[in-house]
Amino acid sequence: DMGQARQSIVMHRDVADGIVEMSVYAPVVAKAARAGQFVRVLASEDGELIPLTLADWDTAKGTIDIVIQGLGTSSKLINLMQEGEAFAGIAGPLGRPSQVHAYGADETVVFTAGGVGLPAILPIAKAHLAKGNHATMIIGFRSAGHLFWTGEDDRMGKLKAKYGDQLDIIYCTNDGTFGVGGFVTGPLEEMLKDGKMSKGRKLAEVISVGPPMMMRAVSDLTQPYGVPTVVSLNSIMVDATGMCGACMVPVVREGKNVRMHACIDGPEFDAHTVEWDKFMPRFNQFKAQEVRSLKEHGL
Ligand code: FES
Given this model, what pLDDT does residue 103 score?
98
How far apart are the C-alpha atoms of 12 and 67, rounded to whole Å? 10
Domains of the chain with bracketed CATH:
7-93 (2.40.30.10), 107-236 (3.40.50.80)
> Each residue's pLDDT tens digit in the chain (299 positions)?
443 346 899 999 998 888 899 999 999 999 999 999 999 998 888 888 888 889 999 999 999 999 988 777 777 778 888 898 999 999 999 999 999 999 999 999 999 998 889 999 999 999 999 999 999 999 999 999 999 999 999 999 999 999 999 999 999 999 999 999 999 999 999 999 999 999 999 999 999 998 888 999 999 999 999 999 999 998 778 878 888 888 889 999 989 999 999 988 999 999 999 999 988 877 666 665 655 555 555 44
Q: Are the CB atoms for 214 and 206 separated by under 8 Å?
A: no
Tell whether ligand 1 has an atom less than 6 A from the beta carbon of residue 261: yes
- Which are the contacts of 190, defined by CB distance < 8 A and separation ≥ 6? none
Q: Which atom of ligand 1 is nearest to the CA of 237?
A: 3
Given this model, what pLDDT does residue 5 score?
47
Determine the residue of 39, 239, 290 to mutate for testing ligand 1's pocket, defined as the one with the most ligand atoms within 8 A of the Cβ atom. Answer: 239
- Tell me which residue has its CA closest to atom 1 in ligand 1: 244
Given this model, what pLDDT does residue 242 score?
83
Q: Are the CB atoms for 73 and 297 separated by under 8 Å?
A: yes
* Strands in the chain per DSSP E: 7-16, 19-25, 38-42, 49-58, 63-69, 86-87, 89-94, 107-114, 135-141, 167-173, 180-181, 197-198, 201-209, 229-232, 248-253, 256-261, 268-270
Given this model, what pLDDT does residue 211 score?
86
Q: What is the ipTM of this complex?
A: 0.98
Length of the chain: 299
Q: Which atom of ligand 1 is nearest to the CA of 262?
A: 2
Instruction: Give Rg (Cα) of the chain.
Output: 19
- Which are the contacts of 112, defined by CB distance < 8 A and separation ≥ 6? 138, 139, 140, 184, 185, 188, 206, 207, 208, 209, 210, 214, 218
